[in-house]
Structure 1
Amino acid sequence: MTQARPLGVALIGTGFMGKCHAMAWRNVATVFGGAHPRLQVLCDMPDRAEAMAAQFGFARGTDDWRQAVADPQVDVVSITTPNGLHRPMAEAALRAGKHVWLEKPMALTLADAQAMADLAADHPGQVTLLGYNYLRSPAFQAARDLVAKGAIGRLLAFRGVYDEDYSADPLLPWSWRMTHEGGGLGALGDLGCHLVSLMVALMGPVDQVTAMTQIAVPQRPSPQGPRAVENEDSALALIRFASGAQGSFATSRVARGRKCRLQWEVHGGDGTLVFDQENMNELWVHQAGQPGFVRHLTGPEQPDFAAFCPGAGHNFGFNEQKVIECRDLMRAIEGQGPATPDFAQGLEIERVIHAMAASDGRTVTMKEFQG
């Protein structure tokens, strides 16, 4: 399908990822060509909506998300709100006939994610896309191409870590992120789902997990006194993929000194790939017959890099990944290919992290988490 008019956009939320979405919508046509989207309405709290709409370049602001979703000038809704609002907003947008770009995690619970995927399946003409932006890194895309071409042979193992320290201070105040009702899962939902998205894209489906979780700081200060932390601060897992390959997985929001330690490596029969998001412009490749690893800098030969910059070694960044994600969404809306991960694929990611949360040291098969 081809849009008769440029896409009309509603953005709900103006925090870290809301601003990231706004920059992507404003820059996507500059980078990749085509019509500039119409930035129609921005939704946030009453004291922020109008000011942020002006700052982000939207035609108007509102504090009523239902009004934003229902606006007839809006074709696609970007949802960057706290996790507990993901399901009602996404479902309202789908029922209003809109396409949906939703930040991860998909939902608070596996049941919520299943319901969202089911509703999306009932609206096949509407595109859904989840915000797993690390999949768009040119280095990651190059790594996935190498795996697909068999450059490192049969896949044997995956090792992955995603650590940050934003909750390491025990005096950090209690917040909705630390509750099942407001945040859902903890480190698994905030960070681990990103690692799962990369892991599955490289290795294929997960068959079983054996995991443990930990609440490192059981209580946090609040104006009402100490309040309990309900979801995990960290998680560790051993993984068996459907292919028979094995994996290890670790994630933490209390790892002192770690800022965005998203590191993974893939071991194959004929080579190894290594990546570190804190050095996101490098992909390290070893192939049989080489004495060691070769450092590959991001450059125009890698997917999508040249659209931003013609010079190799001129660093790519976090927000540029989101521009590529926005481009992929627009292409899918225009019928030029699938948007991935959509809600159906996102449900599979949710199954993995919820299986890890439920494991408590026992081996859990993914069949136990099928709808």
Structure 2
Amino acid sequence: MSTDNTDRVGIIRGRRVRRGAVVLLAGVVAGLLALTGCVGGAVGSGPGGTTLHLVGFAVPAEANKAAQEAWAKTPEGAGVTWEQSYGASGDQSRAVVNGLKADYVNFSLEGDVTRLVDAGLVDPSWKDGPTKGIVSDSVVVLAVAPGNPKKITGWADLIKPGVRIVTPNPASSGSARWNVLAAYQQVISAGGTEAEAEDYLRKFFGNVVALPGSGRDATTAFLQGTADVLISYENEAILARQSGETFDYLVPDDTLKIENPGAVLKDADPKARAYLDFVLSPEGQQAFAGKGFRPVVEGVAVGEVAGANDPANPFPPPLRLFTINDDLGGWKSVNEKFFADQTGLVPRIQAETDRQK
């Protein structure tokens, strides 16, 4: 069995990753098999049912697993098995375009679904529903070592001398792009100019000590003690703490709303649409909330969420929450301004600061 594109899944599941520890290959493989099985291997109910292929970015793997288990108890989900591939969002999107089998995709960025629309694999109407194609929400948070030894309280502290940052690489990771946009927009939100926001990003990247390929890889690097602060999804921090990791995280006063899309491919088995409908139901969103994601629909009984700073109130509203569409002009504008090859602000700053990998 191949393990392509699953090497980023389950690294902090199934074995405890301690600071300074070396992640042993055997432990990684065990975690992968426990979580999703190998690519090409079915996971789910017994033989005789439908097999669905899910391709996604690494971060929501546990949430999808919880939703699949809940869906399996319904008449539509009974008997469905899963073959799944998880990795960095952009890499996964390109893999589907290049022939990786998928019925349902769950990516970090809208643009990774748009790539499939442009390739004729997903219908252009994929985001016409009430949630505009979004299946999970989160916010950008700052994770710090236990006790917060560097006394990090917000964005301003990240550019101080000696603060070591780990964040995924924007070239491959969707979560990295959310992180960088949050770092930029918090300057604007506080009344700063674009020039000041650009200067902040330059200092920010100057303090980056690692740019792993995905959000999950970044979490692993942080847990191994390579940095003082991890820029992350709130749900990723919560899930790591559910897995027994000991670190603190804080929701900055100014942060960005993360909106992750899901879509069904044109030639998908009809059961894939039924799964997407379930994910967007209150019961499906409850499964996602249990793994640290903020619900995207009304009427979800969240309950207590283990791993959150306050399990009884796991998703406090930030003081100022900005969005891609309302504050940054939408993804088309964002991609051109920030991430276009050679000309985008972020690739340019990465080159200037020698932080490209």
| TM-score, with structure 1 as normaliser | 0.33
Q: Which of these two proteins has the greater Rg computed from alpha carbons?
A: 1
